[in-house]
Structure 1
Amino acid sequence: MKLTLIRGLPGSGKSTFAKVLAKKTDAVHFETDMYFVDDSGEYRFAPNHLEKAHQWCQQQTYHALLQGKSVIVSNTFVRYWEMKAYKEMANKLNVKLEIQVCRGNYGSIHDIEPSTIIKMKSKWQN
């Protein structure tokens, strides 16, 4: 059982890599963006619900780990503190933690302003 965090800027290939890796390793994949997908499959981002979305992702991860499943979480994780809850979760549950970084440039499917991505890049912690 393992918890894998996949981090990278928007459009870097995180989701695609996570989906492929999850299928290959029989892991469960979560990301905060999943919270914003409605019942018809439409992505409807609501910035005022972002904190709830992150909490949802953490809760889904925790429950899957408790069930003995390996989990892959793909989010931007620009700053170290954004991974803290997952690191604590892995420690608490005695689960191996792996962090991978995506550095591709495939273009964001969520129409994120280039200026926002530039700001995120300037805050990136290696």
Structure 2
Amino acid sequence: MKTCLVVDDSKVIRKVARHILETLEFEVREAGDGREALESCMAAVPDVVLLDWNMPVMSGMDFLRALGDSGIENKPKVVFCTTENGMGHIRAAIEAGADEYVMKPFDRETLESKLQIVGMA
């Protein structure tokens, strides 16, 4: 079974994403900020990370950079999931190592299509 780490400071978003991902037959773990997410990835690397941009403690961009510097082999695919929709944000995320980008609010079809793009659905 494929694994996904949902990283978002909103419990509601994590719950919605978990529900969608479980219907797509993913095993889901959750983290409330980037530091929690990095610790989770160090313990067990997921296949894909659904990553929020704006979070306390460690932002999505800081997590992405830390993941890149972590030395983890077989890095997970990263799908940024955020309300930030400016081209500058999207470009910065892709340049920092994100594989895809999805806007909030998202639905099952949108998320599934992004996961297909990164080879995870």
**TM-score of the superposed pair, with normalisation by structure 1:** 0.39
More strand by share: 2
More helix by share: 1
Larger radius of gyration, structure 1 or 2? 1
Higher RCO structure (Cα 8 Å, ≥6 apart): 1
